[in-house]
Amino acid sequence: MNKVINSFSLVVILVWCFFALGSINDLNFSVYTIKSIPFITEIVYVLTAIVLLMGLLRIKRRWEGIKDIKKFSKFVYSTRLSKKSIGLSTVFLIIEIVFMIFFILLSLDAYLMDKGTLLLPMFAVLTFLSIESIVFLVKLRTDPDIKLGVNKNLIAYFDREMHIYYFDGLQQISVYQNRLHFKYKTDLHLFMELDIIPKDELPAFKSALDSVLQDKPMFFDESYRELGVK
């Protein structure tokens, strides 16, 4: 979901750059200029509002995910996410922040040239979203609740968003390309990266998962049975 939101937001920002910066720099095509497009100001503001809404949706999913992982009780097993997983999430967040800062500086530079108010809303929106991302990055790297847990009903973990794998309706479990493969009776297939689990915690995770799945009617593939076996 984060990828969808970020990709869509980037497309909207690029379209915003075309209209907003094109208007300020008096970009023209043949006899037409972007500045002469009807309702150009409204178009720029609507695009800014879309970026804000996408950002708020991402913020909502992030912080609700942290609250949700804290609400889960009676984990038979839990562990902090692996350094590799947190490191990968950190890289994605830094890229996200760098892109936003780039567009902040771009809009600031254009604003100093124009001295108008057309770019100020996007400047404010991206500044707000950048600050939130920096705060979340610190939270990601320091909060002990950025973890994975197993209880009798599900596996849940939180990195940049919440991930939940329910056991209800589970028909088969196997390992494929270093990922847990969950096959459900509804023909739904879900995959969980095993890299999120610290290597030294993999046997304990497998043992906890076995303890909650042992009485459930499902097929355990040989690849799963060998998981965590040294």
CATH number of residue 198's parent domain: 3.30.720
One domain, residues 172 and 130 = no
The per-residue pLDDT for 105 is 87
Domain boundary among the residues 125, 142, 159 is at 142
Give the per-residue pLDDT at 73: 63
Is there a single domain that holds both residue 83 and residue 189? no
Number of domains in the chain: 2
Tens digit of each residue's pLDDT (9 = 90 or more) over 107-140:
777 666 566 677 888 889 999 999 999 999 999 8
Rounded distance, CA 170 to CA 3, Å? 27
- Domain-ending residue, one of 142, 158, 191: 142
One domain for residues 135 and 85: yes
Q: 20-31: per-residue pLDDT in tens? A: 877 776 666 655
Q: Is the pTM of this model over 0.85?
A: no
Instruction: Look up the domain containing 107 and give its range.
Output: 2-142
Please tell me the predicted confidence (pLDDT) of residue 215: 82
49 lies in some domain: yes
Q: Is residue 85, in this structure, part of any structural domain at all?
A: yes
Going by C-alpha positions, the residue among 1, 151, 140 that lies closest to residue 81 is: 140
Per residue of the chain (230 residues), what is the pLDDT tens digit?
677 888 888 899 999 888 887 777 666 665 567 666 778 888 989 999 999 999 999 999 888 888 888 777 678 888 999 999 999 999 999 999 999 999 888 877 766 656 667 788 888 999 999 999 999 999 988 888 788 999 888 999 988 888 999 999 999 999 988 899 999 988 899 999 999 999 899 999 999 999 988 888 888 898 888 886 55
Q: Is residue 147 part of a domain?
A: no
pLDDT on residue 32? 66
Mark whether 96 and 199 lie in a shared domain. no
Question: pLDDT tens-digit profile of 65-76?
Answer: 888 887 776 788
Cβ within 8 Å of residue 194, ≥6 positions away: 175, 178, 179, 180, 202, 227
In a domain, 116, yes or no: yes
Q: Which of 228, 205, 203, 61 is nearest to 147 (CA)?
A: 205
CA gap 130, 213 in Å, rounded:
42
Phi, psi angle pair for 17, to nearest 5°: -60, -40
